[in-house]
């Protein structure tokens, strides 16, 4: 069954949005197969966002991701990679539709509270980066 990597970033955890976000994925019908709260190192954040290393915001983004607890998760279900991104909404919360997580709960692109894998290859790589196989139920 299809799986994706979802993470609530430090701003989402700090703002107390964990249960709100989890319930949206649960109510949709997706299955939680792994979850843990961790503070990633800067080096780890750089690995996670390696595709963006040429972008001007890369350093600030990695500093931010490693600034506090992140709730790392794997969710499973039909179409979960694409539909998970739909639940999350557009990258820039100014452009996210109301009804989406970012649209309802975030305001600026640098504090958009949640990450979701953008395709099958990245989902596979991100799950392997953040979790040991034995952590997946």
User: Which residues, at least 6 apart from 76, have a Cβ–Cβ distance to it below 8 Å?
Assistant: 1, 2, 3, 4, 30, 31, 32, 33
Asked if 110 interacts with ligand ATP (CB under 6 A), we say yes
Segment contacting ligand ATP by CB under 6 A, of 19-27, 32-40, 106-114, 124-132: 106-114
Segment contacting ligand ATP by CB under 6 A, of 15-23, 35-43, 113-121, 128-136: 113-121
Instruction: Check if 48 is active-site.
Output: no
Binding mask 26-65 for ligand ATP (x = CB under 6 A): --------------------------x----x---x----
**3-state class of 100 per DSSP?**
strand
Nearer to Mg ion by Cβ, of 51 and 137: the residue is 51
Alpha-helix runs per DSSP H in 15-79: 18-28, 42-48, 58-65
Helix (H) or strand (E) holding 85: helix 80-88
Residues labelled catalytic:
115
């Amino acid at each position: 069954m299809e799986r994706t990597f979802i993470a609530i970033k430090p701003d989402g955890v700090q703002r107390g949005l964990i249960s709100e976000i989890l319930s949206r994925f649960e109510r949709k019908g997706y299955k939680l197969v792994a979850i843990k709260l961790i503070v990633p190192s800067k080096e780890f954040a750089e690995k996670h966002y390696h595709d963006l290393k040429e972008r001007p915001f890369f350093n600030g983004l990695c500093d931010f991701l490693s600034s506090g607890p992140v709730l790392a998760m794997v969710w499973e279900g039909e179409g979960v990679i694409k539909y998970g991104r739909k639940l999350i909404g557009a990258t820039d919360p100014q452009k996210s539709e109301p009804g989406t997580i970012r649209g309802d709960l975030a305001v600026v692109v640098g504090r958009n509270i949640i990450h979701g894998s953008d395709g099958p290859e990245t989902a596979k790589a991100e799950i392997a980066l953040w979790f040991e196989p034995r952590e997946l139920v």
